[in-house]
Amino acid sequence: MPELLKMEKIGASYGSVQVLRDVSLELGSGEVLCLLGRNGAGKTTLLKTIMGLVRAISGSILLDGMELTRLPPHEVPRHGVAYVPQGRRLFAELTVAENIEIGLMTRQKGSETREAVLDLFPVLRERLGQRSGTLSGGEQQMLAMARALATEPKVLLLDEPTEGLMPSAIAKIRETVAALRAHGVSTLLVEQRVDAVLPVADRVLFIENGRSVRTIGVAELRADPAMVRHYVGVG
């Protein structure tokens, strides 16, 4: 599998507190790589560093061979990295249609992309004029994904997309990730719960105390569940 996103020995810090140390990862084209780790292990910071929202102090991030770490934050999404932040972070006062419009504007996509995204989440089509802050949790998550997909990304970063959702909504998100994978979109997925990951991921990367400690295939992980307990602390 040709690698699309390559992260080499990335270090990042908030002020004087170093959060990431020498994190390396490779994401193949059309692959779903899941980041697993305890709370505070640095998973969210890792995604923010890719987006340029947290500055890398060392190392490099290459997208298709292009250096991302020197770009100002607003340039990163224009090169094809889309971000679904933890807690969704919708523009709550804006309507559903306006949220999608902001996604479309990122890489100057038109009505064709908009239709494709709405076909993926038909429930949003019925709510285009509604203020996005008034949607249900599951609908908000779908909108956050729709907004990101409206950029037609090469790489999608998903930060705990199933957090706090009902089982039916979780199933829908999982289905979508699988469908995107079938379309060749590479996904970096942050999750806390391993059972939400196994059905959709190709490989799993364990993060511990801001370091990337181990990458393994999903089949291997299924065979050895003890590993999850060791790195994540829960079954």
The stretch among 9-17, 21-29, 84-92, 193-201 that binds other proteins (CB under 8 A) is 84-92
Place of tokens 């939400």: 196
Closer residue to other proteins, CB minimum distance, 133 or 217: 133
- Judged by CB under 8 A, the residue of 1, 57, 66, 73 near other proteins is 73
Binding status of residue 129 toward other proteins by CB under 8 A:
no
The stretch among 22-30, 95-103, 166-174, 216-224 that binds other proteins (CB under 8 A) is 95-103
Contact positions with other proteins (CB under 8 A) in 5-44: none
Place of tokens 């994978």: 181
Q: Which residues of 103-123 are buried (b: 16+ CB within 10 A; e: fewer)?
A: bbebbebeeebbeebbebbee
Closest contact distance (angstroms) between CB of 209 and other proteins is 25
- Judged by CB under 8 A, the residue of 89, 125, 222, 229 near other proteins is 89
Residue 60 structure tokens: 């490099």
Residue 224 structure tokens: 């050895």
> Which of 212, 207, 206 has the alpha carbon at shortest distance from 224?
206
Closest contact distance (angstroms) between CB of 168 and other proteins is 25
Total of residues contacting other proteins (CB under 8 A): 27
Axis crossing angle, helix 167-182 with helix 137-149, rounded to the nearest 10: 10
What is the Rg, in whole angstroms, of the alpha carbon atoms belonging to the chain?
17
- Judged by CB under 8 A, the residue of 19, 49, 83, 232 near other proteins is 83
